[in-house]
Amino acid sequence: MSITNTKPVAFVTGGSRGIGFGCASKLAELGFNIAINGMRDESALAEPIATLKALGADVVYCQGDIGSADARAAMLEKIKAHFGKLNVLVNNAGVAPKERKDILEASEESFDYVVGTNVKGPYFLSQAAAKWMIEQKAATPDAFFSIINVGSISATVVSVNRGEYCVSKSGVAMMSQLFAARLGEYDIPVYEVRPGVTKTDMTSGVTDKYDALIEDGLCITKRWGFPEDIGKAVGSLASGNFPYSTGQVIMVDGGLTMPRL
């Protein structure tokens, strides 16, 4: 078990790059020890792991597909063996369709891939983590525990060329409310952070499109979002600054979804 086990522990899925790394970095800066998950071999993650350690965190890497029940169980067991506890779960890992296709042409295979990773994975990871958090809360009532789901404006903003992604993110939105309602009796808040157009690997193929849209007034704050923007919101929630706001959606979209005339 880690010798730094007095620090709170956060598990960030998809935490080795993009929004996930932005969240993990902020949490490390705030004094959390960090477990991150990803699909790549640990040998490919020397740089992000070194960065998190330089911020003062003890870091554990949990390789695996969150869509797999066996992988999810192995991840939590690794965290339990190393840290002995888990204070915050950040469900960030997600995928986009491998090909953007009109909903009249999209395949069941693509739907299963996206929904299995983006909804089924975090749903059952939250279930397992929540049971462990309930046990910990009973043993340490003054400790703060929470689940934070990274959603997307695609929960409500329609993109007909990636319908499976929109459906998956609307599922994450309902999942957040379900777990918030269920865990209320244990004083374990659940939140959704909902990013807008954010600079990541996932959006690299549509940079020109969104550069033009942002220039044309798509967002009130006239720029792309960055992983650190989402990290700041997640860090504040994970620190217990909003204990009376369970079930709420924190928009981090530069005002994109605000109705305007």
* Residue among 61, 123, 165, 191 flagged as catalytic: 165
Two structure tokens written together for 106: 């999209």
Name residue 48's amino acid: P
Cα–Cα dist 246/98, whole Å: 34
Within a 10 A sphere around the Cβ of 100, how many other Cβ atoms? Answer: 16
Cα–Cα dist 245/261, whole Å: 30
Q: 186 catalytic, yes or no?
A: no
Please, what sign has the CA dihedral across residues 84, 86, 91, 93? negative
Cα–Cα dist 204/214, whole Å: 15
Cα–Cα dist 28/23, whole Å: 9
Two structure tokens written together for 158: 């329609």
Q: How far is CA 144 from CA 8, 138, 196, 243, 257, in A?
A: 9, 11, 28, 9, 31
Cα–Cα dist 119/125, whole Å: 10
Catalytic residues: 165
